[in-house]
Structure 1
């Protein structure tokens, strides 16, 4: 690292957005010797992993678990430090509890033996099928995560190279179709296909490639950060500052200053100019292209396809504290509605809020008792809803949605909940639009369909602006904490290829003006 740092000592980088992707990219560039300025428009960090305060208590606003801790350990190792010295991970058990409308439940356990036993309890005779399912999910993991997650996709040729393997794995099928090959019980089909919703995808349209999520959880575990996910964000920021990184809060980018087809600086609403040799954005690429870069009419027409990309669903999240402890509730409970396909059709295709909501209930004190107020409890409950393309008036309907969620929890899990709620607040797709710069208020940027995966997502390096790079949910490899952190590894490889290798050679092969290797889209 020392030799690389000396080579890059004169190079500067600006990273916009202190979410997991931005923090990871800033750390990787800092480790390579770049002078790095990290800009964040809020007075706190984390992006979707921000924390909020309610009733004098801290809540994780977004991600609730870590499923690939080795990705964070690597960042600390780059600076000769140990992840375990700064962050404590607590195992979550069971990983998830699935609560079904017929009164049954399914605990997604951490070991193969316990999981097979649980499958047999719910649907006798299907337990042995789990081993076949796991083998197939492992194949998806080996190709989709181990080999592709940190590999750059910037040319059509990159995607064509892996296409035969994707066809062989039948990644063209939906994850629900994939799961249904192994399980007959509808409850099991829902339980093992629902992880696609955790990255913003409809299980009936999300590629089977995302079965790799199950394999990743089995291989790396499901962990909760002691003190909340926000404690991990703080540890990363402190690592960045400890080694000389410049962190600038309350700096909202107004526009990018251009020098031809290169970004020369980020100019903020606060009147500051941050010049750099390269810029990495953790903001949604669609937002960056539409709001931060002045383009000609011809360029806007050429880029019009971006607005037609399929977006992930929106999220409505209700946070609340209670007067008493609900010790019988697991860390995670997924509350399935009466229907499944019908709910998802209403949300994704019809863009309506279904009456028969499915919910994701998070009770962190089940794993870390410090995450609840004294003599009480703390929760957040997430409901998939349409993004802002549904044209709902969220300011008007928010109280009704809150009460609807409370009614479902009361009927299914917490009979005395209305009497026990001490304080509550909620966020809707409007929050994702205004606070997190999500153009359509979608919770996970573009949807993880096969035609919007790998090289078919927004590219990690702009094909037009050579020193503009992207990390986050909208680019390769995709949404979810592991995907977002891996996107920083992809950017590092592209930066090395562009600025530290034979730059002229790379520019001639994949530069903005070269048609031989024309990119599909940014």
Structure 2
């Protein structure tokens, strides 16, 4: 537990931006340290100052890469589940969580099959779970309203590019910043519009792992943050225009002939993210961290509506992103073990 003095040193009443400005006078450094909050999809002008600790996590503790890509985590978990005798149903959409009183009794699949369960864990975000999987429960709509303070984080336009050259100036992780961070955050978070001078992230895993691209070529993961979807939003008409904004900026900032070098391209829009993952508003990182609206907290892993319903994913603690979501699964498993007095199993994933 932290002492009162330690808690006060975390500037609990300040925004992340206010604390960043306490320590840095240079606007470029302020922008760099402020932008680390986008790892959880929030605004430094809204998020609590305690999240300045993200700088220590990223720059002090360092970042790790999974050889072969993040999907190796899923493959390792699948291997472990098989060793434990767990049956995994792939490509099996769930229609509804069935209930009786204050308990979940199981699930109904889209094909009409029913499965009973002692515990239900939803990997769909909490709000869409109540909205869609529990829509027939009398109290689900009220529960959704109570969670309205947990707004979705930013979404993103993602370009997966295979290029026929290597950009020596790129590292594994790269940021191309906007000229005016305050205007960029205001446009995205307050006005709900796309920024025409966006900050762009490029990940090049082939810099650390040559197996990720053919010799002499590179794989570019290009991410630009955009507002979450509002009712009726459709990126079909906007996708190509905003793609050009992004690629033109990257070429202007030194990635010469980028567009003519593309051999492979796959695009994810906010609509794709919402459809594929059921993410609220196409959110990438779950729910936004806002010191005024939700105190910087996430949605509890334990359902407030059903005693044996639990959540994992970006909308619960500790937040969005593959590492954090993986931890959320561990924390939820610990909560279930505690509630049902189940001894924790110790087994390595290999």
TM-score (ref. length: structure 2): 0.90
1:452 to 294, 313, 318: 294
Gaps of 5+ in 2: 343-350
1:230 aligns with 2:71: yes
1:393 to 219, 226, 234: 234
1:338 aligns with 2:179: yes
Residue 439 of structure 1 corresponds to: 280
Q: Residue 476 of structure 1: CA displacement?
A: 2.0
1:372 aligns with 2:237: no
Cα deviation digits, residues 131-183 of structure 1 (max 9, x gap) = xxxxxxxxxxx86xxxxxxxxxxxxxxxxxx9996555222322222221111
**Does the CA contact (< 8 Å) of 1:453 and 1:477 recur in 2?**
no
- Higher helix proportion, which one? 1
Residue 305 of structure 1 corresponds to: 146
Residue 329 of structure 2 corresponds to: 488
Q: Residue 272 of structure 1: CA displacement?
A: 3.0
Change (3 A) 1:457 1:172: same
Match runs of 1:9-48 below 5 Å: none
Residue 222 of structure 2 corresponds to: 381
1:472 to 313, 322, 331: 313
Paired with 2:213 and 2:55, the residues of 1 have a C-alpha distance of 29
Change (3 A) 1:427 1:303: closer
2:26 to 185, 203, 207: 185
* Matched residue SS, 1:263: strand
* Matched residue SS, 1:249: coil
Paired with 1:479 and 1:174, the residues of 2 have a C-alpha distance of 20
Change (3 A) 1:430 1:163: farther
**Does the CA contact (< 8 Å) of 2:16 and 2:52 recur in 1?**
yes
* Matched residue SS, 2:186: helix
What is the number of equivalent residue pairs in this alignment? 341
Change (3 A) 1:362 1:484: same
Q: Residue 448 of structure 1: CA displacement?
A: 1.2
Paired with 2:315 and 2:4, the residues of 1 have a C-alpha distance of 21
Match runs of 1:200-215 below 5 Å: 200-215=41-56
Q: Residue 248 of structure 1: CA displacement?
A: 1.2
Change (3 A) 1:495 1:163: farther
Change (3 A) 1:443 1:220: same
Paired with 1:163 and 1:481, the residues of 2 have a C-alpha distance of 32
Residue 461 of structure 1 corresponds to: 302
Cα deviation digits, residues 345-372 of structure 1 (max 9, x gap) = 1111111112111100111111111111
Change (3 A) 1:236 1:249: same
Q: Residue 486 of structure 1: CA displacement?
A: 2.7
**Does the CA contact (< 8 Å) of 2:313 and 2:328 recur in 1?**
yes
Match runs of 1:81-230 below 5 Å: 166=7, 169-218=10-59, 220-230=61-71
Paired with 2:85 and 2:60, the residues of 1 have a C-alpha distance of 34
Cα deviation digits, residues 31-60 of structure 1 (max 9, x gap) = xxxxxxxxxxxxxxxxxxxxxxxxxxxxxx
**Does the CA contact (< 8 Å) of 1:255 and 1:291 recur in 2?**
yes
**Does the CA contact (< 8 Å) of 1:253 and 1:268 recur in 2?**
yes
Change (3 A) 1:466 1:201: same
Q: Residue 341 of structure 1: CA displacement?
A: 0.7
Q: Residue 288 of structure 1: CA displacement?
A: 0.6
Change (3 A) 1:380 1:259: same
Q: Residue 297 of structure 1: CA displacement?
A: 5.4
**Does the CA contact (< 8 Å) of 2:130 and 2:143 recur in 1?**
no
Change (3 A) 1:201 1:302: closer
Residue 348 of structure 2 corresponds to: none
1:352 to 193, 202, 210: 193
Change (3 A) 1:298 1:436: closer
Change (3 A) 1:223 1:408: same
Cα deviation digits, residues 459-504 of structure 1 (max 9, x gap) = 1111220000111110122223343233233323322332118xxx
Residue 417 of structure 1 corresponds to: 258
Q: Residue 262 of structure 1: CA displacement?
A: 0.9
Structure number, greater radius of gyration? 1
Paired with 1:259 and 1:174, the residues of 2 have a C-alpha distance of 43
1:285 aligns with 2:154: no
TM-score (ref. length: structure 1): 0.61
* Matched residue SS, 1:373: coil
Cα deviation digits, residues 428-449 of structure 1 (max 9, x gap) = 1101211110121121121012
Residue 80 of structure 2 corresponds to: 239
**Does the CA contact (< 8 Å) of 1:327 and 1:366 recur in 2?**
no
Residue 265 of structure 1 corresponds to: 106
1:329 to 153, 170, 179: 170
